[in-house]
Structure 1
Amino acid sequence: MQKLQLAKRVVRFAVIHVILFTLALSLTIIPSTFAKQPPTTTAKQLFEQGEALYQAGRFTEAVTTLQQAVRSYQRESNNLAQAAALTNLSLVYQQLGSWKEADVTINNSLNLLGWNEKNQKLNVNNPKSELLEILAQTLNIQGELQLTQGQADTSVKTSQQAEQIWKKLGDNAGVTRSRINQAQALRVAGFYRRSLDILEEVSQQLQAQPDSLVKVTALRSLGNVLQQLGELELSQNTLQKSLKIAQRLQLPLEISLAEFSLGNTARSLSNIKDTITHYENAAKIAPNPLTKVQAQINQLSLLVESEQIAEVQKLIPTIQSQLAILPTTQVGIYARINFAHTIIKIGNKKDIAEILASSIKQAKTIGDERAESYALGSLGEVYEQNNQWQEAQDLTEQALFIAQKIDASDIAYRWEWQLGRLLKAQGNIPAAIGAYDSAVATLESLRSDLVAVNRDVQFNFRDGVEPIYRESVELLLQEQGQDKPDLDKVRKRIEALQLAELDNFFREACLSNQFVVLDNVVDKDNQNTAIFYPIILDNHLEIIVKLPKQPLIHKTSVVSREEVEQLVTKMRQTIVAPSAIKEFQAVSQQLYDWLIKPVETDLKNDGVNTLVFIPDGSLRNIPMSALYDGEEYVVQKYAIAVSPGLQLFTPKPLAQRRLNALAGGLSQSPKNEDFEPLPNVKVELKFIQQLGVSTTTLLDDNFTTKILEKTINDQPFRVVHLATHGQFSSKAKDTFILTVDGRINVSELDSLLKSREQKRTEPIELLVLSACETAAGDNRAALGLAGIAIRSGARSTLASLWQIGDDSTASFIREFYSELITGKTTAEALRLSQLKLLADQKYNRPMYWAPYVLVGNWL
């Protein structure tokens, strides 16, 4: 009997946006097969009818027919065939979202096959290959079901058992399916590297296999998983292979699904033109209405996102006319919800409400509580936009209740956030704060899930997560009463946002939640230091300041987020323009008036000489040392440092013993890189050595990744100084430094520098990156600098925000180390070095002395 390939639904959704922007068919795990069954007459006909009904999407009828087949085989005492029918019945239940029935049915099948769940072995001596094949297929399907129910670890083990049976049978296609299932489960469980290792092995194995339907679907599944892991170029190449084979084999459904997946990957690569082409191709060739509508809905969401309103208005009625013929299945329901959510801000509210109300009924019909929660919450959002607060609150609370009941934290946080907005709109600030607190707590519990997937596919951090923190902070600052607002809670909330940003940057929850409380450092040991927490909100710029042995101070400037970000952008543009000094000073003075002027008297009265900023958002991209008060720059009055708010080490002075440094540099750009030469790198490194710093130098041809790693491991260097081109970006893959053999990105740098921890317990005291720059056009590029500072494990990181002449850099570095070896604090050594350039007629413009930023330990 011919096997039926089934496109399986995504296992577990990390956040709602996975469903709303990347539909179930695009996240296929692996096609499963209807299990084979031994030939009989009536029962066989029922079995085949069930298969045909399944293929036609008539799942409710398929259930009835397969149940009849099960009973017929039971009367014949044909356990093997009965088990096969039960396995296929479980598949149909899964498509209907009837998870309990699917679970019971698959377990009944395994019992009939003689599988001992506890001992993970067959209670059958010398089993026939036919039994083993049905068992392997059943275990594959059970593994997928377990993953659907959030049992990732169990799913891995089940898929491994299926793999062993396929190996005994010599079925390479079966082995491939099981290994891809394992990779998917490992990814969900948080073992991203192991998942990718398996997928790379599978990719090699698939190359030797002949063209087949299994190869097409396996390659597509591999491409989808690679997309989720952020390996976008590799995903694109893999999906193209799947598409070409599907075209050669003339498989319309597989061609459509491959085009659909390619559209999702192109979207992640921000290639709008190719994305639309792939979605249009997918819809055009789709052999069934569901696949067609899904492609059109994804295209619609892209058009809405890119504000192509005329095209949106053309496509909406086309999709809407097809909704009625979609099957009442989980995928069909999600398609309707997705469509409604996509047009929620631009469509007819009555039509959207009717679609969602219908989706709620359908979800109840098939017993899919997750889909019901989505539909209820989305309908609540429609009422919210219509200012019908009580109706919206009732629906949101119902959605939240269901999400909490089924332990779906990945969607519960969304309804907690929505409830907070509704309570705020009704003036109930304390209750709104409670709802936001719950949303933040749920997000914290979901850290590993939220960062597991490529952020552009998984969710838009700036739209779907960041606002929760900022709106929460805004509410906390509105709270009235004794000891209100709670400023300590406010700054901890903004630090939690910064932690979430860095998790999102690295796509893994690897940073410790254990903060060093900087207040203790300021109050006890550094009573000349003030800590600034600027917080950018929609209509306010809030400043929280910690002065030595003083309670927190809070100041507000009534200025919009847009005004702040425009001013920051203008400051960055004018600071590097030689002829725009007056324009720069005017912009810089405005920022000074917002950030420092409100507390300048307090700073003076407390004898503060060092300012530590924990900058928010785009403020990371500007050097605080260059803020201008109308007469002087801040650097002329204060030493300046920046902290990500996440101190891995307690700040303490650079140990007063002779410095030893590993100094690496590259004076010429590698052949495949387009960077200007840095001829003064040799001078820069020689200066360090001449100042009496014990130096091991790796220059040009000796500055390779392997030599750098080996050298760092050989000696306990206190300073690592890298004079080479580098770039900071809001994307980890675009944050790197150059060696002669290519780029070391931030994740690889982390591994390289931290490899010393296996041999040495002391951290690097100071990491210097003297020729780096922030990525052009990226207003959050300095996030990459924070990422390097955190992941390097160094107490302090000194880096430049933009590229300048390397002759001035050499002069700066000579002065910096001259001050450092005399016992100055790192921040003071930086300040004095900048003042030296400022006093030089040749380098007195901020473009020369201002780019250097100290991150981390300032002592």
Structure 2
Amino acid sequence: MARKWFSFLRSVHSLKRTTGLHLIRHSLVVFLLGLFLAVGVTPVFSQVSVTTQITQSVVNAEQLVNVAQEAYEVGQYNDAIQSLNGAIEVFRMGGETSHQSLAITLTNLGNVQLALGQPEMALVTWEESRKIFNELQDQSGVIRSQVYQTRALRDLGLNLRACEVFGEAVLDINGLKCEYLAREKPRSQIIAALRNEPSPVSAIGLHTLGDILRAVGELDASYDVLSSALDNLKAGDITYSLQAEANIRLSLANTLRAKGNLERDRQASPVYDYVPWGYVKSEGFSASDNCGDIDDLSCYAAATREYQNAIGVIETTSQNLTLPSSILKLQIKLNLLRFYIEQGNTFDAINLWEKSLKTIEIERLPSNRTTIYASINLAKSLAYLKELESKDSANHDLPSWKVIEATLEKAFDDAQNLSYEDNLAQSYALGNLAGLYEYCGSREEEQTCNLTLSYNSLIQKSKELTQTALVLAQPDENPDIAYQWQWQLGRLEEAQNNSKVAIDYYSNAIETLESVRSNLLVVNSDVQFSFRDNIEPLYRGGVNLLLQPGKYQDLEKARRLIDNLQLAELENFLQCNWQSNERIPLDQLVEADNSSAVIYPILLENRLDVIVKTPHSIALYSHEDVNKNEVENTVGELRQLLVKRRPSLKRLHKLSNKLYAWLIRDAEKNNAWDPGKTKTLIFVLDGPFRDIPMSTLYDIDSESYLIEKYAVSLSVGLELPVLNQKSQLKALVTGQSQDTGFSGFNALGGVDAELGIIKNVLQGSDNVDYLEITSQSLNRDSLFDAAAASNYDIIHLATHGKFSSDPEDTFIIPAPGQKIFLSELDDLFQSNPQNVVQLLVLSACQTATGDKRAILGLSGVTIQSGVRSSVGTLWSVDDIATAVFMKLFYENIGKSSGIAEALQQAQISFLRGGEEGYENYRRYRDSRFWAPYMIVGNWQKVIEF
């Protein structure tokens, strides 16, 4: 009599990328609900039908599948593969009558191959099963095979291709991108389509998509899809697997944790001396009260709840867990342990270690990549706990450093002794052992680790092990691992004062990282990846080496690294992509203009470097007596004074002069540019310098602000969009004066006056065609319709809005209760790809408070909308003052030689208010009125009115 097998394998998330192995691959064991599919029964979801006349060979094949199941449950994956291959041979000989059984058994084989860390082989196997299901016109089988293929693609780091395959499988549309699948409408279509599949298939598909969306940074969409996966699993008409529920809850926790990490990184200062095995605590991080729209708790609190829920579910499954269940339980607890440690929650971390993890003997589990990575993960968590323990002067009877060292050595031995060759596991184990030696070697004077080797021996041994790890994980095959070993070698060479060699390794690491950045926006937080820890320090370390005083210096290469860092920053936080509009190198614009200079302030831990690039030269000015704390404190106090009503000018000038001395004075004294010819300074700003307008830098010697000497513009990167000068322009001007209905965004009573003033200026020119949408008529639809109806060169929006490094917190408010978010701006401003907006003015927007990277929001608006230049403000400005300022600005656009100069002249009129010729602007002399305006993008001329 035929019997039904319940599904017994679930996804066991990868332990492959614990801290220090952070890119792209979700990796390792990804077993889903219903992976082993039964032979010999009428299919409910996963079973193979057999005719009444069962031949002996088919019975033998069915027995082989049974043996494979039993082997899998005790971790004997090679035996499982051998049995499945035997069954496959039988079904191949059975001809067309056995095709259904063959396709199902191939599906099972692919899942075991994935468990062994062989995603390439699994991909090929599932492609064969897909073809057979397609021939059998079994659409559910085709979908299942393609969904499994997306998991293999994800493990290979090919997240973008995984999205395409998923779109083909579920929506039957080719070439879909991840950002499209993350949108609400396609997401809803996917969820609805998968509801028509059996519950396990639906849960598998949504779980897979949720993990992929997290891997590419679509965190809100990931949470929504994973929640639907959990709902579909529970709504099935069969008894759903608690192990599958625990696994989905683990994914939900990881997504919430990734959102928390992003929130932390927005507030965090850069990490300058990152060492993978050195504990980095989040300083000064204040979590929000809720996790956006997805949870009433903070993201971290919600993540903690889901980790604990996952543990609770898996512990209710059975007292005698199967091996996959035991591994899943272990991984959840290891993830939670590291999560506690990241937050400095020593109490809960120690409690989890002592009551739960201390008694787990990982070495008694079967040796495979999963258990090897688990050992390494636990070793690093214990190392972090020991560092916390030493800082707290506590004693929790943690394993010694020598025990941690021995654990890593055994992990490498286990990787070498696997029954199949696993270079990746060997590389990971060796690289982490080398990382431990690097950490201990860098702290030898403190006698932190008390290992046998001396400082020099530890560093040298670490270098040798890392070199071997890199050979085992080549950059073209495993870039996510290789870049970290290249970076590690760079740090080690630097520690031995081999600067040129170190620079080469840093350069190689950055090149390797950038080769996979299209697949990487935000990497899954179950490996504690973050921009703060794992991308930014690499670039800053490389820049530091390139600019070291008294050593080899390469200013051009340093500029490129800072440029690439800013691009990575925009991608990571705002998920911006450079538009395909025509762009021109910044240097080419500067050389052609011959009246501009570019300034790069680069803040390092114990040094401030300033690179100045002019049409004919490049120079470096270093301040070795300036550190990051002094800069952050100076900028922070100055920012407060700039927005204050009637600030102390003496104090403001003193602080602002300090910045002038750091960024400008040395260049002026050394004639870096010709003061008679140079009219515009373009800043590529770094770190805290982005919090203040460069126009407010004050020269105490000449008693003048920088804006009184030069026009000022901000650039994002070494390429800028080209301004297309035209003889005739079209302008769209609109604004919203009504109450927005959103807290903190009150009615703008001066908007109607502002629109009227701009109308008078623009309509007074024969070169401008003008369209106005009144405040009463403005809403989302009218703005989108107007933008699509004609090709505008200038768009002026006098509406509330906000700039932030969070794309969900970067928006404009066209009408009460409505928002247009960053992700929608390309649709708004690029409805006609043949036309590009030359100038976008956002006169009533402001940057988010408490967000150290908030100015990225305006840069993101410029990039995402595809406009040539954007004008915005760093803080909210009085709307009556804005109306007067905009009148001056637009009048000056027609007279000046560039947009930046037009802005400069308007600012000068305000700051000199009350003086001769500027009597009408007396009330606007305070910096809070004139200072916040800034231009991002191309600073050149648009048109003469």
Name which of 257, 261, 264 aligns with 2:254. 264
Alpha-carbon distance in 1 for matches of 2:30, 2:923: 58
Asked whether the equivalents of residues 13 and 328 of structure 2 are also in contact (C-alpha less than 8 Å), the reply is: no
Q: Any idea what the Cα deviations from partners look like across 1:547-575, whole Å, max 9, x if unmatched? A: 35344343334322232223222222222
Instruction: Give the CA RMSD over aligned residues.
Output: 3.8
The Cα shift of 1:500 comes to 1.8
Alpha-carbon distance in 1 for matches of 2:24, 2:143: 33
The Cα shift of 1:396 comes to 1.0
Alpha-carbon distance in 2 for matches of 1:658, 1:106: 59
The one-letter code matched in structure 2 to 1:847 is: R
Matched residue SS, 1:552:
strand
Q: Hey, what does 2:363 align to over in structure 1?
A: 324
Asked whether the equivalents of residues 607 and 622 of structure 2 are also in contact (C-alpha less than 8 Å), the reply is: no
Q: Hey, what does 2:191 align to over in structure 1?
A: 203
The one-letter code matched in structure 2 to 1:282 is: A
Matched residue SS, 1:799:
strand
Asked whether the equivalents of residues 4 and 34 of structure 1 are also in contact (C-alpha less than 8 Å), the reply is: yes
Alpha-carbon distance in 2 for matches of 1:609, 1:660: 28
Are 1:49 and 2:57 counterparts? no
Are 1:383 and 2:383 counterparts? no
Asked whether the equivalents of residues 160 and 519 of structure 2 are also in contact (C-alpha less than 8 Å), the reply is: no
More helix by share: 1
Asked whether the equivalents of residues 116 and 368 of structure 2 are also in contact (C-alpha less than 8 Å), the reply is: yes
Q: Hey, what does 2:689 align to over in structure 1?
A: 619
Alpha-carbon distance in 1 for matches of 2:307, 2:24: 13
Asked whether the equivalents of residues 548 and 606 of structure 1 are also in contact (C-alpha less than 8 Å), the reply is: no
Q: Hey, what does 1:828 align to over in structure 2?
A: 901
Alpha-carbon distance in 2 for matches of 1:222, 1:728: 30
Q: Any idea what the Cα deviations from partners look like across 1:296-344, whole Å, max 9, x if unmatched? A: 1211222122111232233334324322344433333333333334444
Asked whether the equivalents of residues 114 and 122 of structure 2 are also in contact (C-alpha less than 8 Å), the reply is: yes
Q: Any idea what the Cα deviations from partners look like across 1:237-288, whole Å, max 9, x if unmatched? A: 4444544565675632123223222212322332222211221221233143
Q: Hey, what does 2:600 align to over in structure 1?
A: 533
Matched residue SS, 2:474:
helix
Q: Any idea what the Cα deviations from partners look like across 1:396-446, whole Å, max 9, x if unmatched? A: 111111211771112211111111000110111111011011111112212
The one-letter code matched in structure 2 to 1:357 is: E
Q: Hey, what does 1:518 align to over in structure 2?
A: 586
Matched residue SS, 1:535:
strand
Are 1:745 and 2:821 counterparts? yes
Matched residue SS, 2:584:
coil
Alpha-carbon distance in 2 for matches of 1:314, 1:413: 35
Asked whether the equivalents of residues 684 and 714 of structure 2 are also in contact (C-alpha less than 8 Å), the reply is: yes
The Cα shift of 1:150 comes to 6.2
The Cα shift of 1:834 comes to 1.2
Asked whether the equivalents of residues 547 and 554 of structure 2 are also in contact (C-alpha less than 8 Å), the reply is: yes
The Cα shift of 1:819 comes to 1.9
Asked whether the equivalents of residues 803 and 858 of structure 2 are also in contact (C-alpha less than 8 Å), the reply is: yes
Q: Hey, what does 1:445 align to over in structure 2?
A: 515
Q: Hey, what does 1:339 align to over in structure 2?
A: 378
Q: Any idea what the Cα deviations from partners look like across 1:180-201, whole Å, max 9, x if unmatched? A: 9x99x978xx654257676432
Q: Any idea what the Cα deviations from partners look like across 1:815-842, whole Å, max 9, x if unmatched? A: 1122222345322221221122222432
Alpha-carbon distance in 2 for matches of 1:837, 1:410: 52
Are 1:848 and 2:929 counterparts? yes
Cα distance 1:332–1:617, how it changes in 2: closer, same or farther (>3 A)?
A: same
The one-letter code matched in structure 2 to 1:733 is: E
Alpha-carbon distance in 2 for matches of 1:618, 1:490: 19
The Cα shift of 1:587 comes to 2.4
Alpha-carbon distance in 2 for matches of 1:70, 1:806: 75
Q: Hey, what does 1:640 align to over in structure 2?
A: 712
Matched residue SS, 1:661:
strand
Name which of 547, 550, 559 aligns with 1:477. 547
Matched residue SS, 1:404:
coil
Alpha-carbon distance in 1 for matches of 2:25, 2:740: 39
Matched residue SS, 1:664:
strand
Q: Hey, what does 1:93 align to over in structure 2?
A: 113
Q: Hey, what does 2:335 align to over in structure 1?
A: 298
Q: Hey, what does 1:254 align to over in structure 2?
A: 244
Are 1:363 and 2:415 counterparts? yes
Q: Hey, what does 2:274 align to over in structure 1?
A: none
Q: Hey, what does 1:314 align to over in structure 2?
A: 351
Q: Hey, what does 1:179 align to over in structure 2?
A: 170
Cα distance 1:53–1:571, how it changes in 2: closer, same or farther (>3 A)?
A: same
The Cα shift of 1:593 comes to 1.7
Q: Hey, what does 2:281 align to over in structure 1?
A: none
Q: Hey, what does 1:498 align to over in structure 2?
A: 566
Are 1:285 and 2:313 counterparts? yes
Asked whether the equivalents of residues 8 and 34 of structure 2 are also in contact (C-alpha less than 8 Å), the reply is: yes
The one-letter code matched in structure 2 to 1:372 is: Q
Q: Which has the higher contact order (CA 8 A, sep 6+)?
A: 2
The Cα shift of 1:128 comes to 9.6
Alpha-carbon distance in 1 for matches of 2:227, 2:689: 41
The one-letter code matched in structure 1 to 2:192 is: Q
Q: What does 1:422-821 align with in structure 2 at a 5 Å threshold?
A: 422-451=492-521, 459-478=529-548, 484-507=552-575, 509-510=577-578, 516-527=584-595, 529-578=596-645, 580-581=647-648, 582-601=650-669, 602=671, 606-607=675-676, 608-630=678-700, 631-650=703-722, 660-671=730-741, 674-691=744-761, 692=764, 694=768, 695-740=770-815, 742-758=818-834, 760=835, 763-821=836-894
TM-score (norm 2): 0.78
Cα distance 1:71–1:625, how it changes in 2: closer, same or farther (>3 A)?
A: closer
Alpha-carbon distance in 2 for matches of 1:202, 1:179: 6
Cα distance 1:320–1:357, how it changes in 2: closer, same or farther (>3 A)?
A: farther
Unaligned runs of 5+ in 2: 40-47, 261-298, 318-324, 387-399, 442-457, 914-920, 941-945
The one-letter code matched in structure 2 to 1:772 is: C
Q: Hey, what does 1:174 align to over in structure 2?
A: none
Alpha-carbon distance in 1 for matches of 2:7, 2:852: 50
Question: Which deviates more from structure 2 when the two are superposed, residues 63-72 or residues 373-382?
Answer: 63-72
Asked whether the equivalents of residues 574 and 584 of structure 1 are also in contact (C-alpha less than 8 Å), the reply is: yes
The Cα shift of 1:15 comes to 10
Asked whether the equivalents of residues 15 and 450 of structure 1 are also in contact (C-alpha less than 8 Å), the reply is: no
Alpha-carbon distance in 1 for matches of 2:708, 2:165: 66
Question: Which deviates more from structure 2 when the two are superposed, residues 147-156 or residues 675-684?
Answer: 147-156
Q: Hey, what does 1:171 align to over in structure 2?
A: none
Alpha-carbon distance in 1 for matches of 2:877, 2:162: 54
Asked whether the equivalents of residues 667 and 680 of structure 1 are also in contact (C-alpha less than 8 Å), the reply is: yes
Asked whether the equivalents of residues 11 and 147 of structure 1 are also in contact (C-alpha less than 8 Å), the reply is: no
Name which of 340, 343, 349 aligns with 2:401. 349
Cα distance 1:256–1:13, how it changes in 2: closer, same or farther (>3 A)?
A: closer
Alpha-carbon distance in 2 for matches of 1:340, 1:186: 42
Q: State percent identity of aligned pairs.
A: 34
Cα distance 1:158–1:436, how it changes in 2: closer, same or farther (>3 A)?
A: closer
TM-score (norm 1): 0.85
The one-letter code matched in structure 2 to 1:264 is: N
Q: Hey, what does 1:172 align to over in structure 2?
A: none
Question: Which deviates more from structure 2 when the two are superposed, residues 393-402 or residues 813-822?
Answer: 813-822
Matched residue SS, 2:805:
coil
Alpha-carbon distance in 2 for matches of 1:547, 1:48: 74
Asked whether the equivalents of residues 543 and 554 of structure 1 are also in contact (C-alpha less than 8 Å), the reply is: yes
Cα distance 1:28–1:771, how it changes in 2: closer, same or farther (>3 A)?
A: farther
Alpha-carbon distance in 1 for matches of 2:94, 2:545: 68
Asked whether the equivalents of residues 33 and 200 of structure 2 are also in contact (C-alpha less than 8 Å), the reply is: no
Unaligned runs of 5+ in 1: 164-177
Matched residue SS, 2:465:
helix
Cα distance 1:137–1:791, how it changes in 2: closer, same or farther (>3 A)?
A: closer
Q: Any idea what the Cα deviations from partners look like across 1:632-690, whole Å, max 9, x if unmatched? A: 222222221111134333468x65x5654210101113335651110100100111112
